[in-house]
Structure formats: C-alpha cells, structure tokens
Structure 1
Amino acid sequence: MRKTTATPADMARQIGGIPAQPGPHDPDGVIAGAGPVARPGERPTVRLRDNGGEEQPRYAPEWLELREPADAAARSLDLLDPLRIRLANLPGRSGGAAVHDLGCGTGSMGRWLAPRLDGPQHWILHDRDPYLLHFAAVASPRAAADGSRVTVETRRGDVARLTPDALVGASLVTASALLDVLTREEIETLAAACAGAGCPALLTLSVAGRVEFAAPDPLDEELTAAFNDHQRRGGMLGPDAVGVAVEAFGAHGATVKVHPSPWRLGPENVGLTAQWLRGWVGAAVEQRPELAERAETYLQARLAACAAGELRVTVHHSDLLALARPTGGA
C-alpha cells in the first residue's frame, strides 16, 4: 500500500461521501462526534451489540484529527512496560504480534502504539465506517520501535457478539474512548472474549466524570453532573465504565492496572477546547433542559476565554491494562 502524508481530513475531501462539517473554529456548529458525546440522537460509531441493520452515523475525520495530538499526549506511558513484558512472554507468538484495534476510527491508536512496541506486528482494524477504515489503513505506521515491519488489515463490522473465536491468535486488543459508551453486558462480553483468547487488553481514554477548570465557575459542578448523567443514558456506563471493567476482567482472572490519562488543554489547544466545550455543555443541556439559559451564558464566556488563549481545563480520563491469563501452555 502506498504511503501518504495526507491527513484524515485531506482524505475525506479526496474520496468524498462525508457531509460537510463545521470547521474546528466555526462558532455555529460542532463537528460530528466532537466532544465526548455525539449530537442528539446519534449513537457511537462502534458498539459491541448488533444494531439490527440500523445505519450508524459517522464521526467526522476532522474531529478525530483534531483530538489526536491531545489523545497521544494523554495516554499513559506507565502501562507500556508491563504490556511489553507480557507480549514478549506470550506463547505461540514467534511470528509477531496480532493486534485487534476495536473502533479504530482513523487509526490514531495504531499510530501511537505500534512505534512504541518492538517486533513484527499485524494490526487488524475494526470499525463500522468504511471511510474511517480507509483512512486508518492508509495512514497506519509501517515500522515498530525496533524497525520491524508493521502490517495492517481492515474488518468492517460492529464487533457484534464478540467471542473468543473472533480473537483467535490475538496477541493484544486495543481501543480508545470505547469503554464509556458500552453497557455492563458489553464490557463483560469484551472481558470474556479477551480471557478466552488469553490476550491482554489496553483500553485508553475512558471518561472519568471529572473536569477541572483553572478558573472555576459556580456552574461547573452542575454541568459536570448533567453531562455524566447524559453519558449513562440508554444503559451506557459513562464514567462508571472503568470500575465495571476492572471487576469484569478481574472476574476472569486478569491482572488489571488503571492509570490516569487526562487531557490538559490550554492556549495550544484552542480548536479542540472550543469543540469539546460545545459538546460538553450541549450534552449537559440535553440531559437537563432547565440549564439552557444559564449554560448559554456560561458557554459564551468560556469560548471567549478560550479564543483569547486564557482558558485552561483538565478533562480527566483513565487508561486500563488488563493482563489476561495466557492460554497455550504458559
């Protein structure tokens, strides 16, 4: 496959098929998928349940591109050493690591992780959206930390009814920003599948339900509580997901490690911060419409501070590494 330096947004324009979206600095709109929530009525791009044929909305590649640097800076490096040790000692992996990336989007997890691991790697990218899969494959890394070859294949699908059979031969399962849009049953399904395959799971950037502004406002706590309730709609776990995942993987005998992975947004992240603010406040108001008038005043003040380079906010996330008991005689 020919290498390219095109960004996901560039590729979106090249192949077409994605509706025009507001730009990162557009005051009148939110990029599809922007912020930790989707627009009202939208569902996450990738779920572990069968959706009965309903067409899934697409996350705009522009949003995924906008958040990628903050994601990369936030992911916990402390979890990589125990992961490297486990991968080096997995049985039957002499041909290299097979990595399943669930809900891969434009492939940011692979771009971050593959160059930090030694040895040959074959990444299997899972997503419902064929456009995002295209971006992920074209922009995937080609070399591991030690120069070994990295290859990639794509699988379009909902990862519905995930079973150990779907992960036969897997060395690692990864995902970003996935756990918090799952239900308890879906997380238990994921944990059982990883345990059955005997492979570790690195699941990053799950919302933790806490937001801290350098300049606090009395409305911060109300908006945070409303946003967290919005994240729990429809049985999704939102900020409770990591705790449920710890229990689920632990019940299958996995050793589980959790580390913080906060976004620390400041003047260098004006575009991302503005889009996140709109999504965060919008979700809170959707959950509690009585907040609308005060929230609009709040949002405009926060956006003005953001545009002036004066806003600093920490959006807390958590990364989870589950080290399942290896199968195959280890």
Structure 2
Amino acid sequence: MTATDTPHYTPDWLQLREGADAAARAPELVDSLRAHLAARPGPDGPLVVHDLGCGTGSMGRWLAPRLPAPQRWVLHDRDPRLLQRAVEQPPCDAQGTPVAVGTRRGDLGRLTADDLAGASLVTASALLDVLTREEVDRLAALCAEAGCPVLLALSVVGRVELTPADPLDDEILDAFNAHQRRGELLGPDAVTVATAAFERQGAVVRTQCSPWRLGPEESALTAEWLRGWVGAAKEQRPDLGARAEAYLRRRLAVCEAGGVGAVVHHRDLLALPAAVEAAA
C-alpha cells in the first residue's frame, strides 16, 4: 500500500493477463461469499463493493456477475490511466447490466475506516503479495472495523512448474522469490501472513488454490510473464547474468513454437466476519 515499493502495472500487461486471471480465480470462495452475504441482511440499497488497487477493473468484470444485484462498485487506484480504463469497461451484473461505478484515486496506504464506511465487501486482485506485514495488519483492521467480508485473489505462493524442465528453473525461481520479498514485502508469504492477520481480527478465513495454467493458447502471456520473471531474478541476483539471459532466450524460443507450458501458483483468500459465519 506504499507508493515506493508497489509496482506500477501497465494497462497492456493487465489486459494481457485478464483471461488467465479470470480462469484462475476460485469460484468456490464466491459461493461461500454469496451464502454469507445472504445470511446477513444489510441496509437497504445496493451491495457496495470496494475494489482496492483495481487496475483496469478486471476483478469487477469477473466478480460482479457472480454477486447479487443491485451493486455499486468503488474503484481505488493511484494510477489515473488505470481508473479511466476501468470506467470505460465497467462491471456488469448477471443480467449484463452495467453496475454503478465510482472511482477514488490515491495511495492505499492512506486508506481510512471512513473510506470503507458502508462497504458490503472489500476485494482486490494480485495485491497482497506486494504489501508489507504492517500494511496487511492495517488492512485487516480497517476491514474488521467496516464489518464486511474480504475477498483477495491471486496472491503468489512461490511455486512455478514449467514444461519442458530446464536445469536453471529452480535457481531462477529462488531468485525471483527473493526479489518478491525485497525490503519488507511479503511476496510468497502473503497469504499465510494475511490469514493470521484477519484471524486476529476475529474473521473466519478460507483459502483456495488459484493457479494460472498457461498452454499454447496463452503463449503471448507466457512470453511476457517469462520476461518479467527472469528480469526480476536477474535484478535480485546480478551474478546470474549471461546464464539467465541464455535461459530466457531458450524459453522464449520454445514458447514461440508453442512448446512451453507453465503453472504459476496463486492462492485466493476469503475473510468472513465472525458474526456472519455464526449466522450461516
């Protein structure tokens, strides 16, 4: 939630990954979420969803059709380009009707309880792993004060499976995971830390695997992901140097021929206020 370490994502990268993200997210957690929303009647009016670090709005486009109508989404991001793109492609409900959308530009580190007042749900995608322990603790406390469920999707867990295998796979993975943990960022530890943080606030936490499964049809995404993955590993370990560059060339050549398969493991997290869990 800080402006210094959180990466800036380009609209093109977010658009490229949207299909894989949608296929990976865990629908089982949404089933649980719907049941708990139904078990705790809220105030009159629409379901109010706050999407933190919304990017181009892909989480809303995936989730809104799976939630009861009517809805109002509040999209939070610090990048005005991404907010504009999200507004241009608003979420739609299950009937295909665009839902009401508002935007809030700013650093999530300045989020307050007042910002989430009246929230029915807080959600985010690919956010947890770029936060610190302190930021996750603060997010859990804010959501507990708001008294609403939280759905956090697509946090990396530090596991990647590539086919065909390459002798340098494990070394690149270890360097990438270290890069994800640079400074005080949680990286692959995010879901474990967040689970404990929300449980300390009295929430009941459920998690579910949500891997990217990339085959020949996703070769463009796989190639771009490989460039970022190897680039982060080299940044963390400059000594990889020429070996990493040769590795990337090998991987991209096979990817271009449609021969690279990748499973990039993530995990989704649903935190339900204890009162909601007890009512179910």
- Once the 2 structures are TM-superposed, how far is the Cα of residue 58 of structure 1 from its aligned partner? 4.5
TM-score, L = length of structure 2: 0.94
The number of residue pairs the alignment matches comes to: 277
- Change over 3 Å in CA distance of 1:122–1:192 after alignment to 2: same
> Which residue of the partner structure matches residue 194 of structure 1?
143
Q: TM-score, normalised by structure 1?
A: 0.80
Q: Following the alignment from structure 2 to structure 1, what is the Cα–Cα distance between the partners of residues 8 and 127?
A: 15
Q: Aligned pair in 2 of structure 1 residues 57, 76: CA closer, same or farther (>3 Å)?
A: closer
Q: Is the 8 A contact 2:45 2:70 kept in 1?
A: yes
- 1:161 to partner: Cα distance: 3.3
Give the match's secondary structure for 1:154: strand
1:105 aligns with 2:74: no
Cα deviation 1:161-210 (Å, max 9, x = unaligned): 33322211000001010000000000000100111111011100101100
From 71, 74, 80, the equivalent of 2:30 is 80
CA gap 1:147/1:219 in 2 versus in 1, 3 angstroms: closer
- Give the counterpart of 1:118 among 68, 71, 77: 68
Residue 292 of structure 1 aligns with which residue?
241
Partner of 1:20: none
Counterpart residue number, 2:80: 130
3-state SS in 2 of match to 1:300? helix
Partner of 2:18: 68
Deviation, structure 1 residue 141: 2.3
CA contact (8 A) 1:214 1:313 kept: yes
Residue 237 of structure 1, CA deviation: 0.4
What does 1:17-56 correspond to in 2, within 5 Å?
A: 47=1, 49=2, 51=3
Shift of 1:277: 0.3
Q: Could you tell me the percent identity over the aligned residues?
A: 64
User: How many Å apart are 1:296 and its aligned residue?
Assistant: 1.1
Q: Distance in 1 between matches of 2:190 and 2:7?
A: 23
Q: Deviations over 1:308-328 (max 9, x none)?
A: 00110100011001112359x
**Alignment equivalent of 1:212, drawn from 133, 145, 161:** 161
Contact 2:116–2:143 (CA under 8 A) maintained in structure 1: yes
Counterpart in the other structure of 1:150: 99
Alignment of 1:218-257 (within 5 A): 218-257=167-206
Q: Give the Cα separation in 2 of the matches to 1:57 and 1:240.
A: 17
Alignment equivalent of 2:40, drawn from 90, 96, 106: 90
Q: Say if 1:148 and 1:69 are closer, same or farther in 2 by CA, change over 3 A.
A: closer
CA distance in 2, matches of 1:210, 1:190: 25
> Which amino acid is 1:261 matched to?
S
Instruction: In structure 2, give the amino acid aligned to 1:215.
Output: P
1:269 pairs with 2:221: no
Structure 2: tracts of 5 or more residues without a match: none
> How far apart are 1:90 and its partner, in Å?
2.8
- Verify the 8 A CA contact 1:249 1:256 in the aligned structure 2: yes
- For the 8 Å contact 1:178–1:206, the answer to whether it is kept is yes
Q: How far apart, in 1, do the equivalents of 2:98 and 2:259 lie?
A: 44
Point out the structure with the larger helix share.
2
Structure-2 separation of matches of 1:326 and 1:153? 29
Distance 2:125 2:8 in 1: 16
Whether the 8 Å CA contact 1:87–1:97 is kept in 2: the answer is: no
- For residue 131 of structure 2, the aligned residue among 182, 185, 203 is 182
User: Matches of 1:66 and 1:148 in 2, distance apart?
Assistant: 24
Q: Is the 1:163–1:192 contact (alpha carbons within 8 Å) kept by the matching residues of 2?
A: no
Tell me if the contact between 1:223 and 1:284 (Cα under 8 Å) persists in the aligned partners.
yes
How far has the Cα of 1:89 moved from its partner?
A: 2.5
Contact in 1 for aligned 2:91/2:98 (Cα 8 Å): no
**Cα displacement string for residues 244-296 of structure 1 (whole angstroms, at most 9, x for unaligned residues):** 00000001110101101101111001111001001000111111111111111
1:110–1:140 CA contact under 8 A, matched in 2: yes
4+ residue stretches of structure 1 with deviation over 3 A? 146-149
Render the CA deviation track for 1:5-37: whole Å, top value 9, x for unaligned: xxxxxxxxxxxxxxxxxxxxxxxxxxxxxxxxx
- Which segment is superposed worse, 110-119 or 179-188? 110-119
CA RMSD of aligned residues (A): 1.8
CA distance in 2, matches of 1:282, 1:160: 27
